[in-house]
A = this chain, B = another copy of it.
Amino acid sequence: MIRHVVLFTWTEDATEEQKATVATELRKLPGIIPEIRSYTADADAGINQGNHEFGVVADFDNVDDYLVYRDHPQHQKVIAEHIRPIIASRAALQLTL
């Protein structure tokens, strides 16, 4: 199984509406991309200082299924229209489980 993890911080001028839209749009993807086995897209829980602000953890059966998600036009559309305009920093990793 492949677990994809990506963490973001947002620009200072990103609005609450823009941040909320990222979550709303990403959460539509499991209904569109059947290769997604498990999907969480949410803001940081607020326990620690200095964290990134938003994260996605997504599980796939194998690398090919992850690549279907990564390159899916609807995912790329969310990135281009809603994520990229407000990214301050991004940290990503894929783990083999």
Contact = CB atoms under 8 A, between A and B. Distances in A.
A40 B91 contact: no
Q: What is the total number of copies of this protein in its complex? A: 2
Judged by DSSP, the binding face of A is strand
Interface stretch (A11-19, A25-33, A45-53, A78-86): A45-53
A41 to B, nearest CB: 9
Nearest to A46: B94
Interface in A54-89: 54-55, 57, 63, 66-67, 70, 89
B96 A42 contact: yes
Interface of A: 2-3, 5, 7, 40, 42, 44-45, 47-48, 50-55, 57, 63, 66-67, 70, 89, 91-97
